Amino acid sequence: MKRIRNHNIIFVLVVAAVYFILPDCLHAKEIAGVIGRGEAAVVGITAEQGQLIALQRARADAVEQVAGTRVLGSTLVKDSVLVGDFIKTFSRGFIVDEKVTWLPLGTFRENDKSAPIPVYRVEIIATVMIPEKKPDTGFFLEASINRPFYLDGEEAVIRAKVSKKSHIAVFNIRADDRVAMLYPVSGRIKTRMLQPNETFLFPSPDSGLVLEMGTLKGHKQDSEAFMVVAVNAGKNSSFQFADYFSADRLYLVPEFFEIYSRFAKDVAEQILPYEVRKRGEQ
């Protein structure tokens, strides 16, 4: 049995799946020169993780300025769970280009008696795409994972259903600020279409694959996400994710979303109104 030993996946899984509503991105709003700022006071995680959280929060800040919403919380990060603040913004828009400038290290105190905590601070100049949302109410995706979080060595299983015949892909937004396509596992293998109300499992029981969880080297915990994407096959029968993404390489986050926005322009109706149901939830 082949194990997909992804050393960069998950101690805490922040989001079971992330969705975009991109029915027609030819009408999407793309704004350049957006300044996003982020900072993170680090407690209980590595300096590398603190820097990444600050960067993710700067991206979220840029998206939220354009989308007109706010979800970011406290500067203090006692663990990496708050990375979910950044992931939540993916339903509103995403960064397709960025220039990163690190600012001088600051300090943070919870109160007058507490010791100072280092604060990582960053500024980005970003190009933000906000899709115009015209969802097909008859086209939807449900997705879930088998656990809300994973210990090192545990195995993940992703489950999904669609309401219309679809092409489907699974991406991993990793703790090292990279994005990997987990499914399709190869561009050389033509994947079959997922039928309405059919259960999609990754890895499938007959695939000989196991998706084994683990943290980055030297990390006690990491936060990542699986992103499940479905394309309406009835309107895009010849579409292949492998025409845009390779399972054999990793993508920088802005690079990934630039390609993602490009393929969104190439098909008429893409991503679905989305619902996550936790395991066992009716």
Q: pTM of this prediction?
A: 0.81
H-helix segments, the chain: 47-67, 84-88, 253-266
User: What average pLDDT does the segment 115-131 reach?
Assistant: 89
SS3 helix, strand, coil % of the chain, rounded to 5?
20, 35, 45
In this structure, the number of other CB atoms found within 10 A of the CB of residue 211 comes to 25
List b or e across 225-234, with b for residues whose CB sees 16 or more CB atoms inside 10 angstroms: bbbbbbbbbe
> At 206, is the secondary structure helix, strand, or coil?
coil
- The highest-confidence range among 72-86, 132-146, 191-205, by mean pLDDT, is 191-205
Separation in Å, CA 226 to CA 180, 186, 187, 236 = 10, 18, 20, 24
DSSP 242: G
pLDDT over 80 (residue 259)? yes
pLDDT over 60 (residue 113)? yes
User: What average pLDDT does the segment 185-204 reach?
Assistant: 84
User: What average pLDDT does the segment 135-153 reach?
Assistant: 78
Q: Give the residue carrying structure tokens 């500067």.
A: 75
Residue 121: its pLDDT value, please?
A: 92
pLDDT over 60 (residue 129)? yes
Sign of the torsion formed by the C-alpha atoms of 212, 213, 219 and 223: positive
For 36-63, the DSSP string reads EEEEEEESSS-HHHHHHHHHHHHHHHHH
2-54, pLDDT tens digit by residue? 445 444 433 333 333 333 434 344 456 789 999 999 888 877 778 888 898 88
> At 97, is the secondary structure helix, strand, or coil?
strand
Cis-peptide into 203, omega within 30 deg: yes
Residue 262: its pLDDT value, please?
A: 79
d(CA 161, CA 77): 35
User: What average pLDDT does the segment 92-107 reach?
Assistant: 91
DSSP 25: G
d(CA 200, CA 162): 9
d(CA 229, CA 191): 14
Residue 124: its pLDDT value, please?
A: 97
For 129-161, the DSSP string reads EE------TT--EEEEES-SB--TT-EE-EEEE
List b or e across 44-59, with b for residues whose CB sees 16 or more CB atoms inside 10 angstroms: ebeebbbbbbbbbbbb
Average pLDDT, rounded, for the chain: 76
The answer to whether the CB of 279 falls within 8 A of the CB of 273 is no
Residue 236: its pLDDT value, please?
A: 79
Encoded tokens for 264? 């969104």
d(CA 181, CA 85): 22
236-246, pLDDT tens digit by residue? 788 889 989 99
